[in-house]
Structure 1
């Protein structure tokens, strides 16, 4: 196991590459806490990259597609860029029409994080820290954030999110990696087989804002309680698939009844990815509107080239009852984790 540290061409950032004894690799840029590469063996032992990233590392400075980044303070959309806590109203920067998306211009994806690599007997990792001051982006509270990336020798990639605020605030963090288990982007994600332990998804309106309604997945393309291809939603005429540009960009509420919250398989490569988390759900996004002109590490981008599994709390809870809250109380710890375990399918 080892860690390689490099400076980027602009001299401002550091790139850390973690390698375990199975030759699995994760590359992490301290700008945005961005996962730029994730190299995993296929069933024949061939090592290939399974996350989308830019060919030119300096493109992460703009990164309008949020490839691989930490998202915060609140992952997702906040309607009309406002929310209320305890009768106090907060106004945020609008960066998607009148709405606030992924922290806007002061979001954690635009932060150069303090980074400290570490190594233990069975793991290598990087600990990232950042202080977000009171009022930044319109959010209340001084927030101290730590995100720890750990690669273990049994091919688990772990993300731990820890934070504390000196005021009541809204907070839910995630990672925005686009996965493609075919390896080196050989194919789109249409034929990826996905299983999700979820009975309900959150309904979206025409502006992709949660309506507050939970839709039961039975007899819909959102029923992943037994595995199905992502193509079933991409090619669907279901109104909720069409409203997001043909595919998925929806919050799934986890049942917490199975060992894994999400299982993803790609038959040709034989790769298997299992996801477990203590978050109450996730947004699954199938890159419905990715353009065809972006230079990536393994070629040009196109629609449906990757799928995001954004484990997080639901921002819908800021405006609707009946959802797990994303309000963090003053001086109370925020402790969330997500584990990606890699193996091989039968």
Structure 2
């Protein structure tokens, strides 16, 4: 197991208490656009800092005419491009074991792709509630809330107009050592049926150790439920190169949450031992994906939440843990030699094996995406938690702060 990373986080001290949740990724992408002076920030980042830069350029408009920006964060041999539309990580480039640089995430070449009904949440920030809520309904403090349905009988990823379809406000907050971008969004009370006005900030921080930190913060003026995540699709061989079935995956989880035919958890926390869901040892994704297991049939592959083996309580609201960042998973591509290691403060990890990519989507490289051409590893609280009293709570109340981090580190 690798040493737990220590990352500079550009956040106000008042927002570093409850809900500790963080995400980090290592990247490399071609920089472009006009240079933007970095805001003053934490100077504790590693490395010489001589290569850290943040630039911005116009990138079309949202469907309502709002201008969209594309920000490029670069540091050493890593670069990512981030859109203010949906907070999307559009490209993420990093060298392989031979020094060849590739984009290793799936996406679209323009805003229209991300705004279309065909978008499977490529690279997006997900909110207010990542994953599914059964029947689009939950009860909180004696009041029942009905959300719009957008996934059969359920609500998925916050509803039909979630955070992935909003234009976020971006502010550069890096320094000479790290490239960092803070994205902010205010979701008014009643947005997609959720109670409370939710103020959300997400900071992407790129250091020179091939790590990208995604740090989530949120506050509310009324009781509500929150489950934020990042929905990047990975292919460590390179975007558009084909299947990820030969990638090897390890998930540090002894249990998972089985689902019904609509992919809603049954409430059971089941052991992975003896099932196709046992990734405690690194295993090729395609090795068991075609087994006649009912859970695989429901999802047409993997589309489930793993219950991570954590030393703490899973960073529930009110947790006193100061730094509960723990290793959750490792993805390795034998062909390129790239390895993606994920640390998180979250109690769960949704592994989705790209089952519903069907060859109708054209990606950033001009190639089409077919089933299994990318996978998502979404750190999160569990699906349907508002209706599952046995799951870690996703309730957030006035005076509390949702504070979450996940780390994706790319090595070769």
- How far apart are residue 77 of structure 1 and its match? 0.9
- How far apart are residue 106 of structure 1 and its match? 2.8
Which residue, out of 45, 54, 60, partners 1:9? Answer: 60
> Is residue 2:394 matched to residue 1:340?
no
> Is residue 2:347 matched to residue 1:280?
yes
Quickly say closer, same or farther: Cα 1:88–1:259, change in 2 above 3 A. Answer: closer
CA contact (8 A) 1:75 1:174 kept: yes
Kindly report which structure 2 residues correspond to 1:19-98, keeping only aligned pairs within 5 A, or say none.
Answer: 19-21=74-76, 23-62=77-116, 64-98=119-153
Is the partner of 1:60 in helix, strand or coil?
helix
Q: Distance in 1 between matches of 2:276 and 2:213?
A: 29
> Is residue 2:251 matched to residue 1:200?
no
Is the partner of 2:279 in helix, strand or coil?
coil
- How far apart are residue 55 of structure 1 and its match? 2.8
Which residue, out of 287, 297, 300, partners 2:364? Answer: 297
> Is residue 2:311 matched to residue 1:260?
no
> Is residue 2:289 matched to residue 1:220?
no
Deviates more, 1:123-132 or 1:51-60: 51-60
Q: Distance in 1 between matches of 2:176 and 2:208?
A: 9
Q: Distance in 1 between matches of 2:254 and 2:80?
A: 33
Q: Distance in 1 between matches of 2:281 and 2:196?
A: 42
The number of residues matched between the two structures is 342
> Is residue 2:149 matched to residue 1:105?
no
Is the partner of 1:137 in helix, strand or coil?
helix
Q: Distance in 1 between matches of 2:131 and 2:212?
A: 23
Is the partner of 2:113 in helix, strand or coil?
helix
Deviates more, 1:196-205 or 1:1-10: 1-10
Q: Distance in 2 between matches of 1:38 and 1:189?
A: 17
Provide Cα deviations, 1:196-240, integer angstroms capped at 9, x if missing partner: 110111111111111111221001111111111111242221111
- Which structure 2 residue ranges, 5 or more long, are not aligned? 1-51, 312-324
The aligned counterpart of 1:321 is 389
Q: Distance in 1 between matches of 2:159 and 2:281?
A: 36
- Kindly report structure 1 stretches of 4+ aligned residues shifted beyond 2 Å: 55-58
TM-score, structure 2 normalization: 0.81
The aligned counterpart of 1:121 is 176
> Is residue 2:235 matched to residue 1:168?
no
Is the partner of 1:105 in helix, strand or coil?
coil
CA contact (8 A) 1:262 1:275 kept: yes
Deviates more, 1:205-214 or 1:34-43: 205-214
CA contact (8 A) 1:26 1:39 kept: yes
Is the partner of 2:384 in helix, strand or coil?
helix
- How far apart are residue 321 of structure 1 and its match? 2.5
Which residue, out of 250, 265, 282, partners 2:304? Answer: 250
- How far apart are residue 120 of structure 1 and its match? 1.5
Q: Distance in 2 between matches of 1:248 and 1:153?
A: 33
Over aligned residues, Cα RMSD in angstroms?
1.4
- Which structure 1 residue ranges, 5 or more long, are not aligned? none
Provide Cα deviations, 1:225-281, integer angstroms capped at 9, x if missing partner: 111111124222111111101x10000010125952101100110001100000101
Kindly indicate which of the two structures has a greater share of residues assigned to strand. Answer: 1
